[in-house]
Amino acid sequence: MLKQVKENGITIFLSKITNSYTKYFNTKYKRIGPLFQGTFKAVRVQDDEQLIHTSRYIHLNPLTQYLVKNLRDYQFSSYLEYVEDKPGFCKKDQILLIFPLRNHMLNFTLDQEDYGRAIKTMKQVWA
């Protein structure tokens, strides 16, 4: 989840990352062509309610996609930065201000694990 601080900032940032990585990857593996399909999707978060639900959705993805059985085991997430105050690069204040204690955020997130998996299953059935 990114917070835009200047006009088109996220678009420029993601363009630089994807273009740089594609160039690196193509050079390393002696290939040509794009690595990513389409452009990124963005949704503007309107309020704190949407913010915490979006954060929960992002943090639950490794569980709902069956990548890990415990979020603490997923090394590519900022989850531990939030629930254990591990060092990292995320600016967590806006989300953590909503939860009086860190374990409240932990409980809020994990409370929807089964629901997230049910939604994933329904999407596969409907596809």
**The pLDDT of residue 87:** 85
Reported residue count of the chain is 127
- Quote the domain boundaries for residue 115: 45-126
Q: Is 32 in the same domain as 50?
A: no
* pLDDT one digit per residue (tens) for the chain, 127 residues: 988 899 999 999 999 999 999 999 999 999 999 998 887 788 899 999 999 989 998 999 998 888 999 988 999 999 988 888 788 888 888 888 998 888 888 888 888 877 777 777 777 777 6
Q: Is 22 in the same domain as 68?
A: no
- Choose among 32, 13, 12, 9: nearest CA to 22: 32
Kindly write down the DSSP assignment for every residue of 9-59, as one continuous string. Answer: HHHHHHHHHHHHHHHHHHHHTT--S-SS-S--------SHHHHHHHHHHHH
Which tokens sit at 64?
A: 């709902």
**The pLDDT of residue 100:** 81
Query: Do the beta carbons of residue 62 and residue 71 sit within 8 Å?
Result: yes
**The pLDDT of residue 66:** 86
Q: Is 50 in the same domain as 36?
A: no
**The pLDDT of residue 106:** 87
What's the rounded Cα separation, in Å, for the pair 46 and 114? 26
Q: Is 15 in the same domain as 74?
A: no
Query: Looking at the 3D structure of the chain, how many domains does it have?
Result: 2
pTM of the model: 0.77
